[in-house]
Structure formats: C-alpha cells, structure tokens
Amino acid sequence: MFHVGGARSALYNWAVARQSGGRFVLRIEDTDAARNQPEWVEGIISALAAIGINESDPAFEGPYFQSQNAGRHREAAEQLYAAGKAYYCDCTREQLKERTGSEHLGYDGFCRDRGLVYEAGRALRFRTPDEGETVVVDLVRGKPAFPNSAIEDFVIARGDGSPVFLIANVVDDLDEGITQVIRGEEHLSNTPKQQLLWEALGAKAPVWAHLPVIVNEKRQKLSKRRDKVALEDYLAEGYLPEAMTNYLMLLGWGPGEDREIRPYEELERLFRVEDVGTSPAFFDVKKLSAFNGEYIRGLASEAFVAACAPWLRAPYAPWAEERYDQAVFEAVAPLAQTRLSVLSEITKYVDFLFLDEPVDDEASWNKAMKPGAAELLRDARTELAATDWKAEPLKAALEAVAARHGLKLGKAQAPVRVAVMGRTVGLPLFESLEVLGRDRVLGRLNAAQERLAA
C-alpha cells in the first residue's frame, strides 16, 4: 500500500530533484523482515511510476535497501561509543518506572557515567548534550529550536547490538549523499535527534522540509484504519494518474494563481518547497473527483475508450464476455465521457445496451412510475414506433406525447428512461434510444407496461 501522503512527499522530492539537476533516491527501509515482502517493493515502484516518477529517468536512483547497509550502521554506533558520544545502559523499563514514578517520563540518564561495556541485553544510548539547543533548518517551518534538556538520551542500538531505525536512517542518508529531506510533519519530532547524530558523526545535516499533515473531512489525520489512503485503491477505482498527480501536488501548496488544473510538467516548474503551507491539508475526495472528471473529458476519444476497457470486462461487467460489442460502446462513448467523474462509473452508464433487460433498480422504478405512467408509456410506444429512428425525431415524438399528457418533456422522459435503461440517471435518452434500436426499445416499453398492469 502506497499512502497518498507518501505519494505527495515523493512528488515534491521529485520536483526538487529534477529542478536542481539532482537525484531522487528511493530507499526501501526493510530492516523489519516481517513487514517487508518483495512484491511490496514492486508495488512501490509501480505506484511511483503511475504518478510519473519513473526509474528510467536519469534523476531516479535506487532502489537501495536499508538491510544491505547493516554493517555500516553498526560501525557508526560503535564510532559514537568510542568517541564517548554514546554509552551502554542496562536499565529495564520496570527500574525506570520505579525511579521516576511513571511509565511516560523519558530516560533519566542513570547509566551515563557507569562506564558499562557491551554485554548482551545492554542498549547503546546517545549522550545528548546537557545544554544549548538544536536548531532545525526547515524550509517549511523556519528554524524551530529544541532545547537539548528536553531530548532524552535515546537508544541507537538494541540489547542484541542491532542499530535502531534512527541511526540507520542517518547513516544511509550520509552514505547516499542526501542534502535535502522532504517528508511529513509527523517526522519533525525525530528530526533534532537525527540532526544531533549527523553532527556527532562529523557531518552536516541535510536541509529539512516537513509537510503539513493530510486530514479527512472531519479534520482528522488520514488513517488507513478509517480512510481510503492507498494510491493504488484510487487508481483501481478509475482515477487517472494525471489527475491524482495534479491533485496531490496541491495538497499544501499552490502555484499562486486561480487555475488549478495543470499538467505535472508545469507544476514541477512552478513548485517551490518554501511556499508550502503549515496548515493541515484537506484531502477532499469530491474535489479530487472534479479534477478527475476534467481530465477524463480532456482525453482523446480513443484514449477514453481504452481507459474504460478494464471496467467493461469481468468482474466489473459480468455480461461482457458474451454480450459486449465494442462498436456499440464506441457509439455512446462521447456521451459518457462528459458525465464520468471516475472511470469505474462507466459500467452503470452503458450496461443497459448489453443486457437482455434493463437493470432492476427499485428506487428508480418507484420514483419514475407515478400514477399515469402506464398510459404515458403506451402512448409513447405507439408514437415512437411510427417515428424515424434518430435522436431528434425521437425527441420530437416524445415531446408530442408529453404535451398530450400535460407534462413537460423532463417529466415524460422519466418513465421512458427507467423502462428502457433501468435508472433515472444516465446517458442522454434519445441518443441512447437510437443506439439501442427500435425493437429492443419497444420491447422494453411493453415489458414495463405489463409490470405496471400486474
């Protein structure tokens, strides 16, 4: 699963790397074997490619795997110990609670000056400076300062000698020549610790940029337990990669003009990480759908037909194997293209063309089939049967029927639409009748009359 927040961070990093002639480094942090599988790596690379971050581009570097650098992580931890910048600690959680009276207070420095050497079970802790403050240079948030007295002596290697993620990340960044890190604000609290490690290893820390949190409509941070957050899920639902890329780029940043629908190349050129805001960014699915609709309408006809293809096959369209007709779909594709907000909607717009009977949508039937519907359908069938089978004559015929029944055309259309197509909302009625054909339309009008008479 590739989180949309991670996708936004990747796009911002990609933009900066390409603007500056730099490198976008993909690192797979795979030290927890239980949480990493080869297919997940392939999924990340595939998701990045979908939003234009392609490993064939010269700016792309990697993937690197954190587990392959484990030896360097250990060396760095030992280097800090040898320099007196880290010390071993054998305190247990229970002992700390007994000394501090709480499970929630940070480490109290008990082992700082005990001179312990490594033994199995002893963790290695970084010796945080007692005085001063650590200033983080952040392109989004300015220069937040963190008093060193508020930063506990944090663990950099576990009791089995394995370095923790914090130092592994710093060492990997150092070895890979990382000069700028753009990531979510949830990582800001770890940044002073990482910066202290950079300095303790004799290196200059990168420039940081912590992006605003992404929230849902209730202004809660997006959560995979509660919200749809996987980029893959949106793409699988029929959101175009170009629309996703455009929308994600604007979550926290804007080009400073009213026009939001822009190709990625233009957004990349205009992007400045210094202009990213600090307020939470609302992931508005309705707005995303509106973006997507604009991109769908912008597709060439052939591209739109091709993009719809996955949703005109099983399992989305169980009828497709036996009944689907490409020529019939192409005849109505321009009508559908102006109405979709996501490609997966295409199935319900065109299924009436390929089914033996229209779908049985009880809510639509009850809404359209009001008193007098049977008489109107009977009159409509008679009038339509004698009409030239083209959209405009069909419309004129139904207008005449509506007038005789004292109705506006819209009111007269509703029962005809549901009788023929099954739903109250869909493609333009008269063009649909033309494509469906005289015999099938008249047969469905008959069936609807019989159902009303039953």
Cα-Cα-Cα-Cα torsion 373, 374, 377, 378, nearest 10 degrees, comes to -150
At 278, the amino acid letter reads T
Cβ atoms < 10 Å from Cβ of 215 = 17
**Amino acid identity of 418?**
V
Residue 91 in marked binding region: yes
Phi, psi of 195 (to 5 degrees): -65, -40
Alpha-carbon distance 9 to 4, whole Å? 9
Catalytic residue, from 85, 97, 193, 224: name it.
Answer: 224
Residue with tokens 């002992």: 95
Q: What are phi and psi of 113, to 5 degrees?
A: -115, 25
Tell me if residue 287 is catalytic: no
- Determine phi and psi for 130, rounding to 5 degrees: -75, -30
The answer on whether 89 is annotated among ligand-binding residues is: yes
Note the Cα 245 to chain centre separation in Å.
9
Asked if residue 113 belongs to a known ligand binding site, the reply is yes
Is 224 one of the annotated binding-site residues?
A: yes
Annotation-wise, does 308 bind a ligand?
A: no
Binding residues for Zn(2+): 89, 91, 111, 113
Residues taking part in catalysis? 224
Binding residues: 89, 91, 111, 113, 224
Binding residues for ATP: 224
